[in-house]
Amino acid sequence: MAFAGKWETESQEGYDEFCKLLGIPADIIEKGRDYKLVTEVTQSGNDFSWTQVYPSNATVTNTFTVGQEADMETIGGKKFKATVSMDGGKLSVTFPNYHHTTEVCGGKLIETSTAGSVVLKRTSKKL
């Protein structure tokens, strides 16, 4: 249940390069650079509801059960199927253009998105 709660972005590394690689428009990148993304997670065993509120006030919620294929959606509205796995307390899922892992370390939510050699690392504090 370590993931459960409301989290707010504290720092980001590799944001601009990652967003550019995904084809996000420059004006959206600019808006999001210093935005405090809010992530709200509910967890019941292996069942999760994961909601993120973005700078444009867009909200994306994905619900999934670890180890089972689920319908997912990206911030851009692209729908896809994916299976979230958990290994050593770290959630892992492959999105259409990148691989994403999440873990709680030192009381912080650490999200790492990797597309080729480009890495976005977002650290969030619990609210």
Domain extent listing, the chain = 5-126
* pLDDT at residue number 4: 96
pLDDT above 70 covers what percent of the chain? 96
Measure the N-to-C terminal CA separation of the chain; round to a whole number of Å: 16
* pLDDT at residue number 55: 66
pTM, entire model: 0.88
Q: What share of the chain is helix, strand, coil (3-state, %, to 5)?
A: 10, 55, 30
- pLDDT band for 34, please (50, 70, 90 cuts): confident
111 phi/psi in degrees, rounded to 5: -115, 130
Chosen CATH of 5-126 out of 3.30.460.80, 3.90.25.10, 2.40.128.20, 3.30.1200.10 = 2.40.128.20
- pLDDT band for 78, please (50, 70, 90 cuts): confident
